[in-house]
Amino acid sequence: MHRTKRDGALDLLKWLALLSMVLDHLRYVGYSLDLLYVPGRLAFPWFCLAMAANLARASVVAGSGQWRYLGWLMVFSAISEIPYRVYIPDPDTLNVMPTLVLGLLVARGWQDPTLPARGLTMAAVVLALVFNERLMFGFFGVLLPLAMLLVIRRPWYFSVLPGLVCLAGNQWRVLYEAAEFGNRAAILGIVACLIAPLLGLLLLRQTSRLKPPPMRRWAYALYPAHFLLLLALRQIIV
């Protein structure tokens, strides 16, 4: 049976996105670690880029892989919500996976001109608009996988588009106001949002010969599991 060759650069991107996410969430472990906000801005756009890279591969587009992908995201969206709320103090939004679910539907609908796919896309856009305040990274976060898909095979300077979308999803007004007062984390956070897509695209194009451990379906469990591990760490050190 034909199998698609494993993409080492894509696996590396996923591992680095996971590391960035863990660094971001270490801010809530009990110490003043505000500067970890900066590498944390890389996590979501890199996960969106990984999603776009999967969709761009012909084997995924042609088969049913994207629907299995959607199913796993939906399952772990539900599983992750409790550990997310236990670990993050007073969360204003759902965990990040519902945003990725809607983002996948939007990006997939752009690829697939069939009526069902386009219908799901419209439903996802409406949900993103209605629940903008409840979704992590909001409406623009839902659009980010599509923005990544549009530029993934284009010259590097097209990464400005997803960079702006990424910044818009990261409460750019709050960041801008803090940056005006010289807040270092805010200034570097703005820069990180703008360049995250470019860094991810360069990584995908320049590290294809590397062979990190493959990140397979079991990796979905790392999202809720890392909240529980960080919660245990917080209980130990506080």
**Percent of the chain surpassing pLDDT 90:** 80
pTM of the model: 0.93
For range 5-15, the mean pLDDT: 91
Q: How far apart are CA 61 and CA 149, in angstroms?
A: 12
Q: How far apart are CA 206 and CA 214, in angstroms?
A: 18
Higher per-residue confidence, 55 vs 31:
55
Q: How far apart are CA 39 and CA 21, in angstroms?
A: 8
**Domain regions of the chain by residue span:** 8-92+156-237
Encode pLDDT of 88-111 as tens digits. 989 999 999 999 999 999 999 998
**Percent of the chain surpassing pLDDT 70:** 94
Encode pLDDT of 169-187 as tens digits. 998 888 999 999 999 999 9
Outline where 96-171 has alpha helix (H): 97-111, 115-130, 138-151, 160-169
171 phi and psi angles, rounded to 5 deg? 50, 60
pLDDT of residue 58: 55
Contact 226, 25 (CB under 8 A): yes
Nearest of 159, 142, 139 to residue 100 by alpha carbon: 142
Encode pLDDT of 140-172 as tens digits. 999 999 999 999 999 999 999 999 999 999 988
